[in-house]
Amino acid sequence: MANLGTQSRPMRVAIVGSGPSGFYAAEAVANSGLDVEVNIIEKLPVPFGLVRYGVAPDHPKLKKVTMIFHQIAEKPNVNYFGNVKVGEDVSLQELESCHDAVVFCYGAETDRQLNVPGENLPGSHTATEFVAWYNGHPDYKNATFDLSCEDVVIIGQGNVAADVCRILSKSVDELSKTDIAEHAIEALSKSKVRRIHVVGRRGAAQAKFSSRELKELEALPNCLSRAYAEEIALTTADDVELADPTNYNSVACVDAFKRMSEASDSNTDKEIEFHFLLSPTAFHGNEKLEAISFARNRLAGDAFSQAAEATDSTQEIPCGLCFRSIGYRGKPIEDAPFDERRGLVPNEKGRVICDESNPNRNLYVSGWIKRGPSGIIGTNRADSIETVETLVADLERIERNSKAKADLTLGSLLQQKRVPYVDYEHWKRIDDAELSMGKTLGKSRNKFTSVTDMLIAANSGVSQVDYDYPGQSEAY
């Protein structure tokens, strides 16, 4: 029987990353019934990962999940260490020397590549850059996007593409009340963008939007959503896919595209055009992007495994700006196992599959870096619960393999290494300052966009914010 996790030998668990999977993992460990201390480690001073830097500013309700994360952070056995990058400020080995187990929850931050000539011409960006920029991520505050062109292409047909469409189409008046970065408001207020072409390599029945996001695009004021009847014609295999009762989202999407194909012209300022069965073959331009060539595809194969096959037919879309939104991938942390092909940490139900050369390590994983970039915020809760169930079942093994030194804490290690970490009280001060700056500007929040400014706010006065948030019924 394990002594670990009892009063005489509390278990110390490090969680790397403070996005949804990190907080849900912290909650599951803290609620495990064991005597535990949980340290959440975040590379930025500020917590919440993609809830802060991914979720679109015009979807504020979704960000209320941070109220739940706040309650988790306030648990007496949960600590927050912001401004600490694992692999740079502290090594994985050092983390193992002061924790019994480490749970990776560090997300999937890089992009998949198209591997098409000209992909990196000025004017061609990843959607990740644009999203992080308008959300005020410090690493992207100096990014620039040429919004002086009329035609923009978005490659990819998922919810991130829908977010980008809304930000390019909505009025600045509406956006300026949200927590969108001020630099984005300034740039968007001068935007000349008129047409947004949203391109997918497969057909209407395979588009990855959630139908709710599509309906939101259809309902945008002063913006017409279009699709073309000949591009949304269904194959026999599509009919089989759509007849599956679990595929109701695709049925609703196809219905939305049909409505768009029948919509009559109107005098809107902006248009969103959905194009299907097109794969980019080259990005053209002398000094910057001017057009993208596409091969027209047909679908081949059985229902649910139909693949896009290029035909001889081609199409070109002139554009001055492109956002590539074809998915995220994780990157490795030094000295940690990593599956390069899949871009994630290899695992079995959250237990990291370690190298044969060093098999006895207490490493676990959850969230996007465990399963790849799929699912909504709430998906990470079930995922983290699975990982922590595995961890708890491994208690005796963890005790046997632990490299934790009894007298070394993470706080003392960081102090020895002179890493200026931010604790949760510091975050409350940053939060407080952002909320009050937002109030002055008539927005829900005005985010700091530099780490230096965050650290200054963290080290100033004491938080005045009332942290008993009302309305905690938004469940994720």
- In the complex, which residues of this chain contact ligand FAD (CB under 6 A)? 16-22, 41-44, 49-50, 54-55, 59, 62, 85-87, 105-107, 131, 160, 163, 333, 367-368, 375-377, 380
Strand partners, 274: 198, 227
Any idea what the Cα angle at residue 163 is, between residues 161 and 168, rounded to 5°?
95
Sheet hosting strand 278-284, strand order edge to edge: 278-284, 291-300, 307-318
Q: Which two tokens stand for residue 264?
A: 């009559």
Any idea what the Cα angle at residue 143 is, between residues 80 and 137, rounded to 5°?
15
**Of 96 and 399, which has the nearer Cβ to ligand FAD?**
96
**Of 41 and 98, which has the nearer Cβ to ligand FAD?**
41
Residue showing tokens 């977010």: 163
Q: Which two tokens stand for residue 37?
A: 């201390």
Phi–psi pair at 352, nearest 5 degrees:
-65, 135
**Of 126 and 306, which has the nearer Cβ to ligand FAD?**
126
CA dihedral 218, 220, 222, 228 (to 10 degrees): -20
**Of 43 and 329, which has the nearer Cβ to ligand FAD?**
43
**Of 318 and 375, which has the nearer Cβ to ligand FAD?**
375
Report the nearest approach of ligand FAD to the CB of residue 235 (Å). 30
Report the nearest approach of ligand FAD to the CB of residue 396 (Å). 28
Report the nearest approach of ligand FAD to the CB of residue 192 (Å). 24
Report the nearest approach of ligand FAD to the CB of residue 454 (Å). 13
- Residue 198's H or E segment, with its range, is strand 195-199
**Of 26 and 395, which has the nearer Cβ to ligand FAD?**
26
Report the nearest approach of ligand FAD to the CB of residue 86 (Å). 4
Strand partners, 270: 223
Q: Closest Cα to residue 291, out of 147, 124, 162, 161?
A: 124
Report the distance separating Cα 254 and Cα 290, nearest Å: 31
* Cα torsion 196, 199, 203, 206: sign: negative
**Of 2 and 252, which has the nearer Cβ to ligand FAD?**
252
**Of 50 and 256, which has the nearer Cβ to ligand FAD?**
50
Q: Are 104 and 352 in contact (CB under 8 A)?
A: yes
**Strands 347-348 and 351-352: what pairing?**
antiparallel
Report the nearest approach of ligand FAD to the CB of residue 55 (Å). 4
Taking CB atoms, the residue at the shortest distance from ligand FAD is 19
Q: Which two tokens stand for residue 62?
A: 């979704």
Q: Which two tokens stand for residue 267?
A: 């005098």
Phi–psi pair at 82, nearest 5 degrees:
-90, 165
Q: Are 86 and 365 in contact (CB under 8 A)?
A: no
Report the nearest approach of ligand FAD to the CB of residue 225 (Å). 19
Report the nearest approach of ligand FAD to the CB of residue 347 (Å). 13
Q: In 10 A of CB 46, how many CB atoms?
A: 25
Any idea what the Cα angle at residue 37 is, between residues 31 and 40, rounded to 5°?
90
Report the nearest approach of ligand FAD to the CB of residue 315 (Å). 27
Q: Are 127 and 67 in contact (CB under 8 A)?
A: no
**Of 19 and 337, which has the nearer Cβ to ligand FAD?**
19
**Of 310 and 385, which has the nearer Cβ to ligand FAD?**
385
Kindly calculate the radius of gyration of the chain based on its CA atoms and give it in whole angstroms: 24
Report the nearest approach of ligand FAD to the CB of residue 164 (Å). 8
Q: Are 330 and 107 in contact (CB under 8 A)?
A: yes
**Of 138 and 203, which has the nearer Cβ to ligand FAD?**
138
Report the nearest approach of ligand FAD to the CB of residue 92 (Å). 9
